[in-house]
Amino acid sequence: MFSTLRVPQFRLLFGGHLISLIGDYALLVALPVWVYASTGSAAASGGVFLAATVPQLFLSPIAGAFVDRWERKRTLIVADALRAALVLGMLIVPLSGSLALLYLLVLLQSSVSRFFFPARTAILPDVVRREQLGAANAALSFGDALGRLAGPALGGLLAATSGITAAIALDALSYIVSAILLAHLDVAPATAQPDRPARSLHDAGGRMLRDLLDGVRMTRSQPALRMLVGVAALLSIGQGVISVLLVVLVATAWGGAAPELGLLTSAQGLGALAGGLLAATLAVRMQPRSLIALGAFGSGALLLVMTNQSTLGVALALYGVIGVMAVALQVGVGTVMQLETPAEYRGRFSSLLSTAGAATTLVAMALTSLLAGIVDVRLMFDVAAVAFLVGGGLAFGRPVLRRIDSPVAVVPRGS
């Protein structure tokens, strides 16, 4: 991973990624805290998360089609600039007290992010060499874990000491710094597809539909990408169960409450931090699909053991290792996606995968909530573990992917 960070172009991408993540997580903690303190309503506080989540489900497929037509570097910079402006607009909220305005700005910020994330995924193969993709994805996962650990702590501190305006200013500044770093990326200024102006609204709608259908057909024609969609759906089932019932498991299995849940979450975060370092090493020694199988099998097996034992200390250790497995899984999925998806479809497939995962997670969460009072919580976690194991089997059952070991034709500038 550290050898990848010596690539100047990747350092710019990684730096912007980490800085904006810290700002995002800081604000994501500070905003609900401020809303709850101002209103005393848990529902109003939860509205912040709802506004941030809705665009992921409904806008991602459309965003991916646009990303494949636009110049990706410019898309990243414009998205960061727009998000900085939207976040700065939140400074009005404490003065006006308008929660409707806050929800609208959070919704718009999240909507712009639906364009940023697939563009970042799609541009990575233009920033590092082909054989560096696994380590580069591991570095980004390491940045994710670091942001998840540092951002919430910073957001809570700012909310307690300096107020919501400090957290808003920090997030806006993080986007500005990210945009400046991305502006220095030295990649070819090309689009994945030509973007001809639409002659009418009907023409634009028809083109969008054709782009989306082309992306679906391309996915169906590629065994590796079909495998990724199947694995993502299975993992999302498990994640939906865990999201709803983890707090219940902590209480019923180990007699814990909020402090113990916090310790468990921190253990997973520390595991993810270590996983970024380990996955970078594994990525240059293993096939990406083997990383997927390792991460899914490992998560499922460890979850089975963790759920069916009665010691909190053992649970903390096992959940930390699950954090390591989750990063291996994430790195494997990202690398297969970038290697196996044709360049002109990277944005659409990235968004398709994100949408499939979000939709399956929401369905799993709804079903889990309905069954929570009927089915034993340990049994539900066993179902989640089996979903992970089946996902690992699906990845392991695929043949070695054809293009992963193909030679590198072009070395990007700055590498």
Which pLDDT score is estimated for 308? 94
Q: State how far the Cα of 224 lies from the Cα of 398, in Å rounded to an integer.
A: 8
Total structural domains within the chain: 2
26, 154 contact by CB (below 8 A): yes
* E strand or H helix that includes residue 53: helix 42-58
**Higher pLDDT residue, 320 or 262?**
320
Q: Angle formed by the axes of helices 377-396 and 288-307, to 10°?
A: 160
Instruction: Average the pLDDT over each of 78-92, 110-124, 204-218, 222-236 and give the range with the smallest value.
Output: 204-218
In a domain, 298, yes or no: yes
**Higher pLDDT residue, 256 or 112?**
112
Which pLDDT score is estimated for 190? 54
Q: State how far the Cα of 102 lies from the Cα of 34, in Å rounded to an integer.
A: 11
Does 22 share its domain with 155? Answer: yes
Q: What is the pLDDT of residues 355-374, one digit of tens each?
A: 888 888 888 888 888 888 78
Which pLDDT score is estimated for 411? 33
What percent of the chain is modeled with pLDDT above 70? 89
Using CA atoms, how far residue 238 sits from 363, 369, 371, 407, in Å, is 11, 13, 14, 37
In a domain, 317, yes or no: yes
Does 241 share its domain with 182? Answer: no
CATH code, domain with 230: 1.20.1250.20
Does 164 share its domain with 227? Answer: no
**Higher pLDDT residue, 43 or 205?**
43
Does 231 share its domain with 143? Answer: no
**387 Rama sector, left if φ>0, alpha if ψ -120 to 50, beta otherwise:** alpha
Q: Angle formed by the axes of helices 72-89 and 164-183, to 10°?
A: 160
Does 164 share its domain with 239? Answer: no
Task: Supply the Cα-derived Rg of the chain in whole angstroms.
Answer: 21
Does 254 share its domain with 157? Answer: no
Which pLDDT score is estimated for 311? 92
In a domain, 405, yes or no: no
Q: Would you say residue 253 has pLDDT above 90? A: no
In a domain, 408, yes or no: no
Does 249 share its domain with 313? Answer: yes
Q: Would you say residue 325 has pLDDT above 90? A: yes
* E strand or H helix that includes residue 406: none
Q: How many helices (H) and strands (E) does the chain have?
A: 16, 0
Does 119 share its domain with 246? Answer: no
In 3D space, the residue among 290, 29, 44 whose CA is nearest the CA of residue 150 turns out to be: 29
Which pLDDT score is estimated for 381? 93
3-state secondary structure string across 195-226: CCCCCCHHHHHHHHHHHHHHHHHHHHHCHHHH
Q: Would you say residue 156 has pLDDT above 80? A: no
What is the mean predicted confidence (pLDDT) over 388-392? Answer: 93
Which pLDDT score is estimated for 208? 63
Confidence of residue 398 (pLDDT cuts 50, 70, 90): low
DSSP state of 97: -
313 contacts: CB under 8 Å, gap ≥ 6? none
Does 38 share its domain with 113? Answer: yes
Instruction: Average the pLDDT over each of 2-16, 76-90, 172-186 and give the range with the smallest value.
Output: 2-16
Q: Would you say residue 295 has pLDDT above 80? A: yes
Q: What is the pTM of this model?
A: 0.75
395, 289 contact by CB (below 8 A): yes
Does 153 share its domain with 26? Answer: yes
For residue 51, what are its two tokens? 């506004």
Instruction: Average the pLDDT over each of 38-47, 225-234, 330-339 and give the range with the smallest value.
Output: 38-47
Does 219 share its domain with 312? Answer: yes
Does 145 share its domain with 236? Answer: no
In a domain, 197, yes or no: no
Task: Answer with the one of 186, 205, 237 that is the final residue of a domain.
Answer: 186
Tell me which residue range forms the domain holding 17: 2-186
